[in-house]
Amino acid sequence: MTDMSTAKMTLDWVPFTPKDVPLGHDISLLDLFWLVKQEHETCYLLESISHPRHQDRFHVLGFSPALLLSARGDTLTVTGRPEIMGRCFGTETDSLKIEGVNPYEYLSDNLDMNRGARSHQGGLIGLFCHEAMNYFEPSMKLEEHPVFEPFRLGLYLDGLILDTVTQSLSYYTYDEDRSEEVKALLSKLPLENSGGPVETRYLGASETEESFSKKVADTQQKICEGYSFQAEVGMKSYFEVKGDKFTAYKHLREVNPSPYMYYLQFGEQELFGASPEILISSKSGRILTTPTAGTIRRGADEAEDVALARQLLSDPKEIAEHNMLVDLHRNDISMVCQPGTVVVEDLMYVIKFSHVQHIVSNVVGVQARDKSGFDVLRCILPGGVVTGAPKIETVKIIDANEAQPRGPYGGAVGRFGFNGDCDFCLPIRSLFCDGDQCFAQTSAGVVYDSRPAHEYQEVQRKLDGMRKTLAKFAGEAQ
């Protein structure tokens, strides 16, 4: 371990164009991921298996990144292959700590991600927690989650891309060629059944209906006093998951097929989810956010769907909440966009998901020339959908309400690509595991006239997908 507080980091040595290796077509990326997971303790899978797919025609997989970067307080820890460390830092070591820095600003200041290539070909990929906000907003002093660091990223120099339009799979690499290793795994496909046995147990929740209702009432008092317009009141549900968590993810894909599905593994930490929305994306300098708020169930047929959508879009409370989010998102992306380019491209359209319909708007803008992908994520994390407005004051209310740090819930999962693009989804409807100990969080947007019983129902309903998924494996190994 080398201590270096003044070390500079560079990615200037990364080639502009990766080598591509076509691997065939009609291959199950999911099953391949399971095989990869048996041999690599750090890996990821990002896939999009229901509309809307604002970005992800391409599903991607990566394993054993060249470097791992994680933040704790004012320390950035980097581990990896000495050869890569040498190219990045000028010192061939397998691990170093950069202390006394703001780890996010360190990356932002040091790394130029405009390396050419295409947006899905690697980059810095991983997880940001809610508490990463401390790095963006100096007035925040949120307690960090004991297990999940404010952020954890892999530097992925190679990986697999599945083009879902052509069903072709390809391997890319900027450095070492591991395609033979991938081909060896491909030779094991198709599998009869991927995923090992898993056993789950529900351990309880952080709130009872009574304690939750009290928090709703306290929050409403703060709203009436002018400290917030809307604040998300949340609760955690705890589970024990023993065995192969991939099996649970595979089932989640069936129970709740979603536009932004992900599986991240960093050793003992495994996180997976079925996110309905992106947090933010920037492609070729065009920024997109899709604030999603306002929910109603699906109808039995087209006519009932329409009737329910009509009911949703004529509910003044739902519209007011959505208005607030649209203005909040306009504000957030204005921090990184050219003045005059931020517009509400589509206002309040309705998307039908597998179980519910949501009101969604597209807020877009043109990224300012002097802003990077790091600036783009910084402007919006944590997203307004899981916090509220005004954001800083509201996060203080959330912090006072919730006994434990949120950790990954409402943070960001995604990628800073080597072409300067970035793409992050919102980790909600997700399970966060440290070994066998896992939790899910759900929250409800509280406004001055919310009814506590209704909000409690909402946090329960939002948990349905994950609860149903895990219940299938309750108490007995498959």
Structural tokens at position 236: 């955690």
Among the residue ranges 85-93, 256-264, 306-314, 386-394, the one whose residues contact another protein (CB under 8 A): 386-394
CA distance 328 to 56: 25
Q: Tell me the torsion sign for CA atoms 394, 396, 399, 401.
A: negative
- Examine residue 339 and tell whether it contacts another protein (CB under 8 A): yes
- Residue of the chain from 392, 400, 403, 474 that contacts another protein (CB under 8 A): 392
Residues 232, 332, 421, 455: which binds another protein (CB under 8 A)?
332
H or E element in which residue 60 lies: strand 58-63
Is there binding between residue 471 and another protein (CB under 8 A)? no
142 touching another protein, by CB under 8 A: no
Minimum CB distance to another protein smaller for 243 or for 390? 390
Q: In the set 155, 223, 248, 444, which binds another protein (CB under 8 A)?
A: 223
- Name beta bridge partners: 169: 24, 162
CA 34 to chain centroid: 20
Q: Is 401 in the site for another protein (CB under 8 A)?
A: no
340 lines the binding site for another protein (CB under 8 A): yes
Site residue total, another protein (CB under 8 A): 39
Q: SS3 of 39, please?
A: helix
Helix (H, G, I), strand (E, B) or coil at 265: strand
Q: What is the DSSP letter of 44?
A: E
Query: Is position 410 an interface residue for another protein (rule: CB under 8 A)?
Result: no
Stretches 280-288, 326-334, 351-359, 455-463: which one binds another protein (CB under 8 A)? Answer: 326-334
Phi-psi sector, 324: left (phi>0), alpha (psi -120 to 50), beta = alpha
Examine residue 215 and tell whether it contacts another protein (CB under 8 A): no
115 Ramachandran zone, left/alpha/beta (phi>0; psi -120 to 50): alpha
Answer yes or no: are the C-beta atoms of 10 and 110 closer than 8 Å: yes
Cis status, amide bond into 197, omega within 30 of 0: no
**Residue 278 sits in the site that holds another protein (CB under 8 A):** no
What does the DSSP 8-state code read for residue 142?
P
Q: Is 330 in the site for another protein (CB under 8 A)?
A: yes
> Which one of residues 187, 301, 303, 316 is an interface residue with another protein (CB under 8 A)?
316
Q: How far is the CB of 227 from another protein (least distance, A)?
A: 5
Task: Determine if 323 is a binding residue for another protein (CB under 8 A).
Answer: yes
The residue ranges that bind another protein (CB under 8 A) are 139, 223-230, 316, 319-324, 326-328, 330-332, 334-335, 337, 339-340, 342, 344, 347, 384, 389-394, 447-448
